Structure 1
Amino acid sequence: MDIRGRKMKKPPACVQCRKRKIGCDRVKPICGNCMKHNKMDCFYPDVPGQYVPSSSSSSSTRQVANGPFLNSYYASSRRVSKETAALLQKNPELASLEQIREYNTRLQLLNAQNQLSNRSSAANATLNQQHTQYIPKSVPSLESKPVTSANESSTPLNWVQGPAIFHMLTSPYTQDEIINHEMNFLKGRLLELQEITGKKITGVNLDIKPDSTARTLSSQFNRGQEEFLTIKKRKFSEDEIADGEGKLTTNNERRPSLNEFKDLDPQFLDTNKVFNVFNSAILQDDKNKLWLLPKNSNKSSIFQIQYLIERDPFLFKFFNELNSLIEKQFNGSLQYLLTNHNSDEHNSSISQILRFPSQSITQNLITKYLSTVTETNSILPILKPKRLLPIIEQLFPSNTINKPNSSEYETIFQIFSMTNDQLINLGFITLCLLILFESLNSTVLIPLREDGHLQLFNLLFNYLPSLKSNLTTLRFEIEKRSMCDIDTLRFISLWKYYQFVMATSSSSSVVIDYDEDMHMACLLSLNHETQNQSHILIWNFIFKNYCWRHLFLGQLPLLMSEPFTNSTPIIDPLLNNDFELIDFEVNLMKYLQSKDQQLSIEKIMQLIKLLRSKNVEVSQGCLTTSSIINNIMDSLIYRNSMLYLNFYLLLQFEKLKNYAKFNEILEEFLELSRETLFFVFSNLANIKFAGHEFTFINKSITVLQTLVLMLLALYQRSFESFKETAAEKEDSIDQTDSVHSNNDNKRIKNKNVIHLIINKISMLLKDYTKNCKKQNKLIENLIIKIKMISYYIKNLEESKVSPVIGLNYTTNNGFTGIGTDQLIKLNHELNKISESLIKTDFYEQRNNSTLSNGVMGTAAPVDSDASLDTFGLTMENFSEIFEAIRS
Structure 2
Amino acid sequence: MDIRGRKMKKPPACVQCRKRKIGCDRVKPICGNCMKHNKMDCFYPDVPGQYVPSSSSSSNTRQIANGPYLNSYYASSRRVSKETAALLQKNPELASLEQIREYNTRLQLLNAQNQLNNRSSAANATLNQQHTQYIPKSVPSLESKPVTSTNEFSTQLNWVQGPAIFHMLTSPYTQEEIINHEMNFLKGRLLELQDITGKKISGINLDIKQDPSPQIQSSQSNQDQEEFLTIKKRKLSEDDTTDGEDKMIANDERKSHLNEFKDLDPQFLDTNKVFNVFNTVVTRDNSDNLWLLPKNINKNSIFQIQYLIERDPFLFKFFSEFNSLIEKQFNESLHDSLTNHKNTKDSNSISQLLKFPSQSVTQSLISKYLSTVTETSSILPILKPKRLLPVIEQIFPSNAMKKANSNDFETVFQIVNLNNDQLINLGFITLCLLILYESLNSTVLIPLRDDGHLQLFNMLFDYLPLLKANLTMLRFEIDKRSMCNMDTLRFISLWKYYLSVMTTSSSSSNTIDYDEDMHMACLLSLNHETQNQSHILVWNFIFKNYCWRHLFLGELPLLISEPFTNSTPIIDPLLNNDFELIDFEVNVMKYLQSKDQQLSIDKIIQLIKVLKTKNIEVSQRCLTTSSIINNIMDSLIFRNSMLYLNFYLLLQFETLKSSGKFNEILDDFLELSRETLFFVFSNLANIKFAGHEFTFINKSIAVLQTLVLMLLALYQRSFESSEAMDNEKENYTDQTESSHSNNDNNKRIKNKNVIHLIINKIAMLLNDYTKNCKKQNRLIENLITKIKIISKYIKKLEESKTLPVTNSNNSTNNGFSNISTDQLIKLNHELNKISESLIKTDFYEQRKNNKVSNGVTGTTATGDSEANLESFGLTKENFSEIFEAIRS
Give your verdict on TM over 0.5: yes
Change (3 A) 1:671 1:802: closer
The one-letter code sitting in structure 1 at the alignment partner of 2:621 is G
**Alpha-carbon distance in structure 1 between the residues aligned to 2:350 and 2:868:** 42
- The question of whether the paired residues in 2 share the 8 Å contact of 1:546 and 1:557 is answered with yes
Q: 1:812 to 1:455 in 2, by over 3 A?
A: same
Residue correspondence of structure 1 range 361-510 to structure 2 within 5 A:
361-397=361-397, 400-502=400-502, 506=506, 510=510
Give the structure 2 partner of residue 884 of structure 1. Answer: 885
* Closer, same or farther: CA 441–393 of 1 in aligned 2, 3 Å: same
Structure-1 separation of matches of 2:434 and 2:556: 30
Higher alpha-carbon Rg: 1
Q: 1:162 — aligned with what?
A: none
> Take 2:166 and 2:885, find their aligned partners in 1: how far apart are those partners?
55
Partner of 1:731, secondary structure, is coil
Comparing 441-450 with 795-804, which one deviates more in the overlay?
Answer: 795-804
Question: 1-side partners of 2:672 and 2:463: how far apart?
Answer: 41
1:640-684 deviation digits (Å, cap 9, x = unpaired): 111011101100110111111111100000011011001100110
The equivalent of 1:670 in structure 2 is 670
User: Does 2:821 match 1:823?
Assistant: no
CA distance in 2, matches of 1:366, 1:788: 41
| CA-CA distance at 1:593 after TM superposition | 1.0
Q: 1:685 to 1:808 in 2, by over 3 A?
A: same
Which residue matches 2:22? Answer: 24
Indicate conservation of the 8 Å contact 1:131/1:167, yes or no. no
Quote the Cα distance in structure 1 between the aligned partners of 2:326 and 2:132. 64
Match of 1:642 in 2: 642
Q: Quick one: which amino acid aligns to residue 121 of structure 2?
A: A
Alignment CA distance shift 1:495-1:17 (3 Å): closer
Counterpart secondary structure, 2:299: coil
TM-score by length of 1: 0.78
For residues 460 and 205 of structure 1, the distance between their equivalents in structure 2, rounded to whole angstroms, comes to 73
2:731 maps to 1:740: no
How far, CA to CA, are the matches of 2:668 and 2:806 in structure 1?
35
Match of 1:14 in 2: 13
* Matched-pair contact (CA < 8 Å) for 1:14–1:42: no
Q: Retained in 2: the 8 A contact 1:12–1:48?
A: no
Give the direction of change, closer, same or farther, for the CA distance of 1:360–1:786 in structure 2 (3 Å limit).
same
- Give the equivalent residue in structure 2 for 1:213: 232
Pick from 114, 120, 123 the counterpart of residue 121 of structure 2. 123
1:267: Cα distance to partner? 1.2
- Please give the TM-score of this superposition, normalised by the length of structure 2: 0.78
Distance 1:41 1:466, change over 3 A: closer
Answer yes or no: is the 8 Å Cα contact 2:35–2:122 preserved in 1: no
Aligned to 1:626: 626
Alpha-carbon distance in 2 for matches of 1:622, 1:47: 50
Correspondence list, 1:776-791, <5 A = 776-791=777-792
Is residue 685 from structure 1 mapped to residue 685 from structure 2 by the alignment? yes
Deviations 1:849-880 (A, max 9, x none): 44349962258654322211211112222221
CA distance, structure 2, for counterparts of residue 428 and residue 633 of structure 1: 24
Judge which range, 588-597 or 498-507, deviates more: 498-507
Q: Give the Å deviation of 1:841.
A: 0.8
Which residue of structure 1 lines up, in the alignment, with residue 799 of structure 2? 798
Query: 2:125·2:565 contact (CA, 8 Å) conserved in 1?
Result: no
Please name the residue that 2:870 is paired with.
869
Separation (CA, whole Å) in 1 of partners of 2:530 and 2:779: 41
Could you tell me how far apart the structure 1 residues matched to 2:585 and 2:355 are? 42
Contact 1:858–1:877 (CA under 8 A) maintained in structure 2: no
Cα drift, residue 211 of structure 1: 6.7
Matches within 5 A, 1:524-603: 524-603=524-603
CA shift in 2, pair 1:334/1:509, >3 Å: farther
CA contact (8 A) 2:503 2:778 kept: no
Partner SS for 2:436: helix
Query: 1:42-121 to 2 correspondence within 5 Å?
Result: 42=42, 110=116, 114=119
1:709 match: secondary structure: helix
Contact in 1 for aligned 2:548/2:637 (Cα 8 Å): yes
Note the C-alpha offset of 1:801: 6.0
1:158-210 superposed Cα distances (whole Å, 9 cap, x missing partner): xxxxxxx99736759799x99985669999xx9xxxxxxxxxxxx95966897
Question: Alpha carbons of 1:466 and 1:132: their partners in 2 closer, same or farther (altered >3 Å)?
Answer: closer
Aligned residue in 2 for 1:654: 654
SS in 2 for 1:798: helix
Task: Select between 252-261 and 843-852 the one with higher mean Cα deviation.
Answer: 252-261
Q: Report matched runs for 1:82-481 at 5 Å.
A: 110=116, 114=119, 122-126=120-124, 129=127, 168=168, 181=214, 204=223, 213=232, 256-258=254-256, 265-283=265-283, 287-288=287-288, 290-397=290-397, 400-481=400-481
Per-residue deviation, residues 255-291 of structure 1 (Å, max 9, x unmatched): 6541799685221111111111111111366744521
Query: Secondary structure at 1:282's aligned position in 2?
Result: coil
Q: Using a 3 Å threshold, how does the CA distance of structure 1 residues 520 and 41 change in structure 2: closer, same or farther?
A: closer
**1:320 Cα offset (Å):** 0.9
**SS of equivalent residue, structure 1 residue 675:** helix
For 1:439, the aligned partner's letter is: S
CA contact (8 A) 1:25 1:32 kept: no
Cα shift readout 1:320-342 (whole Å, capped 9, x = no counterpart)? 11111111222222222222222
Change beyond 3 A, Cα 1:288–1:656: farther
Helix, strand or coil: the match of 2:651? helix
Give the 3-state SS of the residue equivalent to 1:411 in structure 2.
strand
Give the equivalent residue in structure 1 for 2:701.
Answer: 701
Aligned match of 2:770? 769
Cα distance in 2 for residues equivalent to 1:514 and 1:522: 14
Aligned to 2:800, the other structure's residue is in SS state: coil
Q: Which residue of 2 aligns with 1:95?
A: none
Per-residue displacement from partner, 1:464-506 (whole Å, max 9, x unpaired)? 1110111111111111111111111110110000001226764
Which region of structure 1 is more displaced relative to structure 2, 256-265 or 571-580? 256-265
Larger CA deviation: 10-19 vs 832-841: 10-19
- Return the offset for 1:809: 4.4
1: CA distance between counterparts of 2:303 and 2:758? 23
Change (3 A) 1:13 1:862: farther
- The one-letter code of the counterpart of 1:213 is K
For structure 1, which segment, 329-338 or 43-52, has the greater mean C-alpha deviation from structure 2 after superposition?
43-52
CA distance in 2 between partners of 1:473 and 1:455 (Å): 27
Match of 1:832 in 2: 833
Q: Distance in 2 between matches of 1:132 and 1:5?
A: 36
Q: Work out the CA distance in 2 between the residues paired with 1:130 and 1:687.
A: 49
Where structure 2 has 5 or more consecutive residues not aligned to the other structure, the ranges are 60-65, 79-107, 134-164, 179-211, 236-249
Does the C-alpha gap of structure 1 residues 780 and 597 become closer, same or farther in structure 2, counting only changes over 3 Å? same
Contact 2:13 2:26 in 1 (8 A): no
Alpha-carbon separation, structure 2, partners of 1:707 and 1:27:
57
SS of equivalent residue, structure 2 residue 669: helix
Secondary structure of the corresponding residue to residue 466 of structure 2: helix
Moved more, 332-341 or 770-779: 332-341
Aligned to 2:142: none
Aligned partner letter, 2:373: V
Match of 2:441, SS state, is helix
Report how far residue 318 of structure 1 moved: 0.6
Answer yes or no: is the 8 Å Cα contact 1:355–1:411 preserved in 2. yes
Cα distance, 1:711–1:169 mapped onto 2, change above 3 Å: closer
- What SS does the corresponding residue of 2:427 show, helix, strand or coil? helix
Aligned to 1:242: none
Amino acid at match of 1:258: S
Counterpart contact for 1:769–1:776, Cα < 8 Å:
yes
Gap change, CA 1:450 and 1:127, over 3 Å in 2: closer
Closer, same or farther: CA 384–215 of 1 in aligned 2, 3 Å: farther
Kindly tell me the number of residue pairs found equivalent between the two proteins: 761
